[in-house]
Amino acid sequence: MEEQLKDIKMPKTKRGLITFNKIIKAAEKLFGTKGYYNSMINDIAYKAKVAPGTLYIYFPDKYTLYCYLLTQYNHHIREYISSRVKDCTTRKEQERVGLLAFLEVIKERPYMYNIIWESLYIDKNLFVDYYESFAKRYVRNIESSKANGEMKDFDSMLVSYVLMGISNFVGLKYVMFDESKKSSDIDLEKIADEVIEMLEKGIFK
C-alpha cells in the first residue's frame, strides 16, 4: 500500500490543507454511501466544492485517494485504541478497553466497515494487507503477554484473528446493524465486559 501513497502530493499551506481535508471528507462520504465504483472523481470534487483539477493536484487518481483513506483508517483505529489502552495494567484490561475503543471508533465513523471491506473488491491485496498489518502488531503484543505470564500459550496469530473476528462482528451487530436503535439502548461497556468474561472463563460449562 505504501507504494501507492508516494504519488500523493501533501498540501504545503494551511489553505491547501483545508482543501485537502474537504476532498477526504467528501470521498469518505461518497465511497461510504455509493461505494467506490459508483463514485467518480468528478462527484467527489463536486461534493467537496472544489474543481476536479484541484483534486488532481493531490491525488493522481481515485485509486490512490482510496488507498490514502484506507491507510488513514488503519492509523486512526490503531492510534485511538493505543491512546485508550496505554494506562491499562493487565492484558485482560487492555483487551476490554481495546474492544470498547474499537466499538467507539466505528460508531463515530459509520462508513468505516463499508470502506475498509470494499478493498476486497478494489484490490484484494489491500484487504489482506489491512488485516495482516493489524494482526502483525497484535501478535507482537500477544507474544509479550505470553512471555510475562498473562496469556495462555495458544498460537499468537490464531489468537489475533480470533480477537479481530470478535471485535469486527460484535461491531457489525451492535454498531452497524443496530444503528437505528437509540444509543442509550446499547451499552457498549456492558458488551465489552461480557465478551472479556467469555474470553476469561470460557463459554462452556
Among 172, 181, 183, 187, binds its own copies (CB under 8 A): 172
In whole angstroms, give the CA distance from residue 29 to residue 178: 20
Question: Cβ of residue 159: shortest distance to its own copies, in angstroms?
Answer: 6
How many degrees, rounded to 5, is the angle at CA 202 between CA 200 and CA 205?
140
Smaller CB distance to its own copies: residue 1 or 166?
A: 166
Choosing from 120, 140, 143, 144, the residue that interacts with its own copies (CB under 8 A) is 120
Within residues 123-142, the interface with its own copies by CB under 8 A covers 128, 131-132, 135
How far lies 193's CA from each of 93, 99, 186, in Å? 10, 9, 13
- Binding positions for its own copies, 78-97, rule CB under 8 A: 91-92
Query: For residues 144 and 86, what is the distance between their CA atoms, to the nearest angstrom?
Result: 15
Phi, psi (rounded to 5 degrees) for 108: -75, -25
Which amino acid makes up residue 54?
T
Site size with its own copies, rule: CB under 8 A: 49
Helix (H, G, I), strand (E, B) or coil at 9: coil
Contact footprint for its own copies (CB under 8 A): 35, 37-38, 91-92, 113-114, 117-118, 120-121, 128, 131-132, 135, 149-152, 154-155, 157-159, 161-162, 164-170, 172-174, 177, 191, 194-195, 197-205
